[in-house]
Structure 1
Amino acid sequence: MNFDLTEERQMLQDSLRRFLRDKYDTATRNRILESETGFSADIWSALAELGVIGALFTEEQGGFGGKGFDLAVVFEELGRAGVVEPFMDTAVLAGGLIADLGDGAQQEHVEAVIGGALQLAFAHGEPSSRYDLNRVQTTAKAEGDRIVLNGRKAVVVNAEAADMLVVSARESGDVGDEDGISLFLVPADAKGLSIEGYALLAGGRAGEVTLDEVSLPASARLGAAGKAYPVIEARMAAANVALCAETLGAMHTACELTREYLGTRKQFGRAIGSFQALAHRMSDLLIEMEQARSAVINAAGHLEGDRVGRERHVSAAKNLIGRVGRLVAEDSIQMHGGIAMTQEYELAHIAKRIVMADHRFGDTDHHLERFIALASA
């Protein structure tokens, strides 16, 4: 099988890497992290104009990519540069759900997302749901020709900056049932919607969302009532592929920074990278990186496959990336010494991104258990 990038994907990778190398350094990111929104509107608009968001949607949805390898190419470059802009939440998750389920009028939002004019957030996880996608307690009740939402959503990334939220709520069934979950488009200024925001350790911002008698027209529902779970699961698989690729890119940067440091830092008149113990540790990291890259390629290649195969390969990749990522982050910091912990140095941010990625969308233990369950399905 040929794993070389197509000409179009190679061009996308080259242009994105060149843009981020010129425009996205450590000082720029630190200024973004200190801002109220947690991302740069200028960077967002420039990357949208470059076609980065369009690469995350299929041609039928108004983009020019949307496959597993398109996501992997884009997010690996975003991970290399430590980009904190909410591509995952606006495009892959919330935007992707609208593209998958939206009617004609709702599809217009996808065009706005691709153009960089609309910010979205996906409000699905709840305080008691942990990593279980089917555990939804937020309720949606019909009252005449309106639907009323009540409940709480936890760690909703990009919630404060979002113009609109895609909110999951249960229309029928018991907590934990896959059937009965629906998705709704909720404007950020909807009456009864409140957001308590905070900064995230790995960059960007999130919020705790409360829905108190939020009244919506029936036209706010995405797709058929109570049938959203399979689409949510598929979108979360795409998000996991993107997150694995992003973490792979971050690991590459961590290894490159470490290799450069070992070649310049001297002790006893020699570069410390010439010491056998450190050279062996660096070699081990590079070997683990190759395994991680293979896992990302495998998951991306199965993203459009059958449900069991897709989820099994995604969980395998997420488990491996979590384990290798922790090793890369810890060893990179140890081989750097104290400088690796300073915010002004690139590795400080990159290492945090790598470690915290394991806790989003399911950690190593969760995906190991899930892989075992799927393997016997």
Structure 2
Amino acid sequence: MDFQHTEDRRMLADTLNRFIAEQYGFDVRDRIARSQEGFSRDMWQRFCELGIIGAFFDESMGGFGGDGFDVSVVFEALGRGLVVEPFLDALIVGRALAHAGNERQRERVASMIDGTAIAAFAHDEPGSHYELARVNTRATRHGEGWKLSGAKGVVQQGAHADVLLVSARTSGGEFDEAGISLFIVPRDAQGVKVRGHRKIDGGRVAEISLDDVILDADALVGKEGEGYATLTHAIGYGLVALASEAVGAMDVAKDHTLEYLRTRKQFGVPIGAFQALQHRMADVLLEIEQARSAAINAAAAVGGSGVARERALSAAKYSVGRIGALVAEESIQMHGGIGMTWELPLSHYAKRLVMIDHQLGDEDHHLARYIALGRAAS
């Protein structure tokens, strides 16, 4: 396997890293994350003008990338900067529309690429416990269109999105893969109620209730009852994104900790001279490289299909969940009490690493999924 990025990807990474370093410093990020909206529309537009979202899609969708490694280089840079703008939902919703949408729905991707439209992914439900097929929101026929009723939780930037990609059950039981359908729902549609709140790691999410929301026939994405395959496809790219974002955040936490070990003195010498701390830091460095390898493997596999793809994705998500918590804990402990303070960026990286574990399935969920996939294939 060739681990070297293409020249175009290196240029994209250099451009994005430079922009974040110069325009999205920690003070700027902290102000944006604590704002009423939880992200900056102006900053979002500037990111889009760099062509960042275009990297998620191939030329047929108006982009210039679309490969797993294109997604990876972007999100690793976003992780280094703790960027709170809604890139993950743009990726997942866009990939779903590109995979199964009709011509009109696929045209929405262009407005997402240029930043004129913000989309949110509304799939998780209270009590779903990360199970992809566990959907209780119902969609029933209403004339030539549809009527949706149900609830969705922890929708990233749900209060400020223009449209929602909503999963709903059109047939089958609560855990059935067959019978799940996807719908494009305008956030301001009658019957859509949104309650936003802050996230512990910055930005905002929303709880969304759907009370007899009436939709036209063309709101359905793909074929009725066949949305599970589209969810699996799109969320796979989301897992690559989160794994890569975690690696970027780990690298920064590592760098901050190494710098602290070199400069903080005790008994007249830098604390990094103490063998106990050297051993702990060496373990952290090795674990981060393990996470990086898992993320690379996921990026290479996401364009495929079948058990091999899904196991690589779950392996990566499990790895960054476990290792992210380790890096957060060790970095803070080696900093001592100052590591917990709001003013120190490290504490925010630690929170983000912990919260990444809880997006699109935590380490326990993906370990169980990895094992189950292996047993099913044997």
Fold match (TM-score > 0.5)? yes
Counterpart in the other structure of 1:294? 293
Partner residue, 1:49 = 49
- How far did residue 256 of structure 1 move? 0.3
Instruction: Judge conservation of contact 2:121–2:165 (CA < 8 Å) in 1.
Output: yes
Query: Which residue does the alignment assign to 1:123?
Result: 122
Partner residue, 1:219:
218
Aligned counterpart, 1:350: 349
**How far apart are residue 7 of structure 1 and its match?**
0.4
Q: How does 1:220-369 map to 2 (within 5 A)?
A: 220-369=219-368
Instruction: Report if the CA contact (8 A) 1:26-1:344 is conserved.
Output: no
CA contact (8 A) 1:86 1:204 kept: no
Runs of 4+ aligned structure 1 residues displaced above 3 Å come to: none
1:212 CA displacement:
0.4
Q: Is 1:28 paired with 2:28?
A: yes
Question: SS at the partner of 2:103?
Answer: coil
Give the conservation status (yes or no) of the 8 Å contact 1:121–1:165. yes
CA offset digits 1:143-171 (Å, max 9, x no partner): 21221000011111110110011111111
| Partner-residue secondary structure (3-state), 1:337 | helix
Partner SS state of residue 106, structure 1: helix
Partner residue, 2:74: 74
Match of 1:17 in 2: 17
Letter in 2 for 1:2: D
Residues 254, 332 of structure 1: 8 Å contact kept = yes
Structure 1 residue 128 displacement after superposition: 2.0
Which amino acid counterpart does residue 177 of structure 2 have in structure 1? E
Question: In structure 2, what residue type is equivalent to 1:97?
Answer: A
Per-residue Cα deviation, 1:271-317 (whole angstroms, up to 9, x for no partner): 11111111121111111111111111111111111221110111111
Query: Which residue of the partner structure matches residue 168 of structure 1?
Result: 167
Distance 1:43 1:222 in 2: 30
Report the number of matched residues.
Answer: 376
- Shift in Å, 1:8: 0.4
TM-score after normalising by structure 2: 0.98
Q: Distance in 1 between matches of 2:66 and 2:126?
A: 31
Q: Distance in 2 between matches of 1:25 and 1:184?
A: 37
Whether the aligned pair in 1 keeps the contact of 2:96 and 2:233 (CA below 8 Å) is no
CA deviation vs aligned residue, 1:159-191 (integer Å, no higher than 9, x gap) = 011001111111111111111111111111100
User: Distance between the aligned counterparts of 2:24 and 2:8, measured in 1?
Assistant: 23
Q: Residues 76 and 248 of structure 1 are in contact (CA less than 8 Å); yes or no, is this contact kept in structure 2?
A: yes
TM-score (norm 1): 0.98
Structure 1 residues not aligned, in runs of 5+:
none
Q: What are the superposed Cα offsets for residues 24-47 of structure 1, whole Å, 9 maximum, x if unpaired?
A: 111111111221111111211111
Kindly provide the CA deviation profile for residues 35-78 of structure 1, in whole angstroms up to 9, marking residues without a partner as x.
11111112111111111110011222111111111111100010
User: Contact 2:34–2:203 (CA<8 Å) still a contact in 1?
Assistant: no
**Offset at residue 354 of structure 1 (A):** 0.4
Alignment gaps of 5+ in structure 2 = none
Q: Within 1, Cα distance between the matches of 2:127 and 2:266?
A: 51
Conservation of the 8 A alpha-carbon contact between 2:34 and 2:202: no
Q: What RMSD in Å do the two structures reach over aligned CA positions?
A: 1.0
Helix, strand or coil for the counterpart of 2:105? coil
State how far apart, in whole Å, the 2-side matches of 1:270 and 1:128 are: 52
Deviations 1:126-153 (A, max 9, x none): 1121111111111111121221000011
Q: Does 1:136 align with 2:135?
A: yes
